[in-house]
């Protein structure tokens, strides 16, 4: 079964739209390197597009009706947008879902130490990473430090051209004979992912003078004490902006495209859709990379609660109506697919792999080994989704995550399927997934955007 490369099918007008979507996508990537930043970006874009804040709707006891649009942000890290349709809400929702957290290194709660007149920040990696990929790169720090009086200090260091950057050092090759014999998982160990943070001793200090110099700078710049790290969420990410990749500029190289490529295209398709028949929802969630846990992960009830509030404001809420609405819903649960990499062809089943330039990728199931942990979409539902894609000329392909027994992975699909709704996994193909810099195809980004738009309008 041969699928045509999408690039060959575009008109000049489509190419222009493709470039526009990708340029906007890069703005999202450059402004959203953490879940908090992505959530804030989405909320701001929603407000600009005329969405009301659900908290305000609740507080002012406002009524909602068909044609209204609302959004809510939960703990600053998870977002839900609703576009209320003309159909009865009990008939179900069209839901787009993607995650906005990405693999990275989190600063520990007691991170700052000095060793041999160098200051370090100790980190704990987040999500699945090849640790050896995160050394010697310019790194930035994004996040918040919350003081005991409730003040939230926002931190972004390393993105502005004039900012300093950080790095994790690695052993020079001349002394690495022993290191180079180690297995990949042990070449760089988790406890060694400490960020080099300073080297200038504070004058007049005898002990830990470099650390003291750092603490003085932190006090001057952010008015924080060492213990304030205890209530901080500081994320260490690759420094720098997204770039076009390839001489033909057909790809994008950027940090955090898993899963922001799906999050952005879902959000943009959602915001670009004026009115809908079925009430539509766009969910951008946190904590997928560590199992969708916590209050801001998909396993939390925040979405169910928000939906209950929306139905209540519509005068449609009852426990039964809520359950019917959820069970009658259909969802595209979007997360990236491992793009087929000719350099590592042996790890893929080429007939069931995701290729650049072949459109959005559908995974009927994910999981590991014997589909363990998978949602495994219903054939009837996937046929329906195919017909939506074909009806809107969206390029799509189907794939599995690598060869059977090569590994595996999960998404948020199985959690939403607990409501009894139809869910299928989909997303764009990514090369070097979970590496500091990941690659996507611009044409797939465009097809994803088209796919989400078609799905909401169905
Ligand atoms: Zn993902």
For 237, phi then psi, to 5°, come to -130, 160
- In angstroms, what is the span from residue 377 Cα to ligand 1's centroid? 18
Report the separation in Å between the CA atom of 281 and the middle of ligand 1, taken as the mean of its atom positions.
19
The top-level CATH class assigned to 6-102+255-457 is: alpha beta
pLDDT tens digits, residue range 290-329? 999 999 999 999 999 999 999 999 999 999 999 999 999 9
pLDDT tens digits, one per residue of 8-30: 999 999 999 999 999 999 999 99
- Classified by CATH at the fold level, domain 104-238 comes out as Aminopeptidase i, Domain 2 (2.30.250)
Q: What distance in angstroms lies between residue 257's CA and the mean position of ligand 1's atoms?
A: 9
- Ligand 1 centre from 86 Cα, in Å? 33
Asked if domains 6-102+255-457 and 104-238 share a fold, the reply is no
Cα-to-centroid distance, 366 and ligand 1 (Å): 12
The sheet that has 251-254: what strands, in order across it?
243-245, 251-254, 438-441
For the chain, 458 residues long, give each residue's pLDDT as a single digit of tens: 789 999 999 999 999 999 999 999 999 999 999 999 999 999 999 999 999 999 999 999 999 999 999 999 999 999 999 999 999 999 999 999 999 999 999 999 999 999 999 999 999 999 999 999 999 999 999 999 999 999 999 999 999 999 999 999 999 999 999 999 999 999 999 999 999 999 999 999 999 999 999 999 999 999 999 999 999 999 999 999 999 999 999 999 999 999 999 999 999 999 999 999 999 999 999 999 999 999 999 999 999 999 999 999 999 999 999 999 999 999 999 999 999 999 999 999 999 999 999 999 999 888 778 888 788 889 999 999 999 999 999 999 999 877 887 777 778 888 999 999 999 999 999 999 999 999 999 999 999 999 999 999 99
C-alpha 415 – ligand 1 centre gap (Å) = 14
Q: Check if the beta carbon of residue 122 is closer than 8 Å to that of residue 206.
A: no
pTM: 0.96
Residue 311 CA, ligand 1 centroid: distance in Å? 30
Centre of ligand 1 to C-alpha 66, Å, is 33
Q: Strand 280-285 to strand 78-83: parallel, antiparallel, or no bridges (unpaired)?
A: antiparallel
Domain boundaries, the chain: 6-102+255-457, 104-238
For residue 380, report the distance from its CA to the centre of ligand 1, in Å.
26
Distance 334 CA to ligand 1 centre (A): 8
Ligand 1 center from residue 359 Cα (angstroms)? 18
If you measure from the C-alpha of residue 290 to the centroid of ligand 1, how many angstroms do you get, rounded to a whole number? 10
Q: How far is CA 144 from CA 55, 76, 223, 350, in A?
A: 23, 11, 13, 44
Segments of 366-451 assigned E as strands: 367-368, 396-398, 408-409, 422-427, 429-430, 438-441
What's the 384 CA to ligand 1 centre distance in angstroms? 24
CB under 8 Å to 57, separation ≥6 — which residues?
64, 70, 309, 313
Q: How far is the CA of 262 from the centre of ligand 1 (A)?
A: 9
The rounded Å distance from CA 433 to ligand 1 centre is: 9
Whether the upstream peptide bond of residue 250 has omega within 30° of 0, thus cis, is no
- For residue 409, the CA-to-ligand 1 centroid distance in Å is 9
**How far, in Å, from the CA of 6 to the mean position of ligand 1?**
24
- Measured CA to CA in angstroms, residue 237 lies from 125, 222, 290, 365, 437 at distances of 11, 20, 17, 30, 10
CA of 307 from ligand 1 middle (Å) equals 24
* pLDDT tens digit sequence for 223-274: 999 999 999 999 999 999 999 999 999 999 999 999 999 999 999 999 999 9
Q: How many Å lie between the centroid of ligand 1 and the Cα of residue 439? A: 14
- Burial class (CB within 10 angstroms; exposed 0-12, middle 13-18, buried 19+) of 299: middle
Residue 449 CB coordination number (10 Å):
27
Q: What's the 385 CA to ligand 1 centre distance in angstroms?
A: 21
- Angle formed by the axes of helices 257-271 and 12-31, nearest 10°: 120
Write down the residue that tokens 């309008």 correspond to: 457
CA–CA separation, 66 vs 81, rounded Å?
Answer: 14
């Amino acid at each position: 079964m041969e699928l045509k490369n999408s690039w060959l099918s575009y008109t000049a007008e489509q190419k222009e739209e493709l470039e526009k979507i990708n340029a906007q996508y890069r703005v999202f990537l450059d402004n959203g390197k953490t879940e908090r930043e992505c959530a804030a970006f989405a909320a701001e874009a929603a407000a600009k597009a005329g969405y009301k804040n659900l908290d305000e709707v609740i507080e002012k006891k406002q009524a909602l009706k068909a044609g209204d649009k609302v959004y809510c942000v939960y703990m600053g890290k998870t977002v839900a947008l609703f576009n209320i349709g003309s159909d009865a809400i009990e008939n179900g929702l069209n839901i787009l879902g993607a995650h906005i957290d990405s693999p990275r290194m989190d600063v520990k709660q007691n991170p700052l130490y000095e060793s041999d007149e160098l200051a370090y920040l100790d980190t704990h990696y987040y999500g699945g990473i090849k640790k050896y990929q995160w050394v010697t790169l310019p790194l930035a720090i994004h996040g918040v430090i919350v003081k005991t009086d409730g003040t939230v200090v926002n931190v972004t260091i390393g993105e502005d051209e004039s900012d300093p950057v950080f790095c994790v050092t690695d052993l020079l090759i001349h002394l690495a004979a022993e290191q180079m014999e180690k297995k990949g998982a042990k070449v760089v160990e988790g406890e060694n992912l400490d960020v080099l943070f300073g080297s200038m001793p504070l004058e007049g200090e005898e002990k830990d003078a470099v650390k003291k110099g750092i603490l003085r700078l932190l006090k001057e710049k952010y008015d924080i004490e060492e213990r304030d790290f205890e209530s901080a969420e500081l994320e260490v990410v690759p420094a720098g902006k997204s770039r076009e990749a390839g001489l033909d500029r057909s790809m994008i190289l950027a940090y955090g495209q898993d899963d922001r490529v799906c999050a952005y295209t879902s959000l943009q398709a959602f915001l670009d859709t004026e009115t809908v028949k079925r009430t539509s929802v766009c969910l951008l969630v946190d904590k997928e990379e560590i199992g969708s846990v916590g209050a801001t992960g998909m396993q939390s009830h925040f979405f169910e609660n928000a939906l209950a509030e929306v139905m209540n404001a519509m005068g449609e809420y009852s426990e039964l109506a809520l359950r019917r609405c959820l069970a009658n819903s259909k969802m595209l649960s979007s997360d990236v697919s491992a793009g087929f990499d000719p350099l590592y062809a042996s790890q893929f089943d080429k007939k069931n792999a995701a290729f650049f330039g072949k459109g959005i990728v559908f995974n009927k199931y994910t999981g590991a080994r014997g589909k363990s942990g998978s949602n495994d979409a219903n054939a009837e539902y996937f046929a329906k989704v195919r017909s939506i894609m074909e009806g809107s000329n969206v390029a799509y392909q189907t794939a599995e995550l690598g060869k059977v027994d090569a590994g595996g992975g999960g998404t948020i699909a199985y959690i939403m399927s607990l409501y009894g709704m139809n869910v299928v996994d989909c997303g764009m193909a990514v090369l070097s997934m979970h590496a500091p810099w990941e690659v996507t195809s611009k044409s797939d980004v465009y097809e994803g955007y088209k796919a989400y738009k078609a799905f909401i309008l169905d």
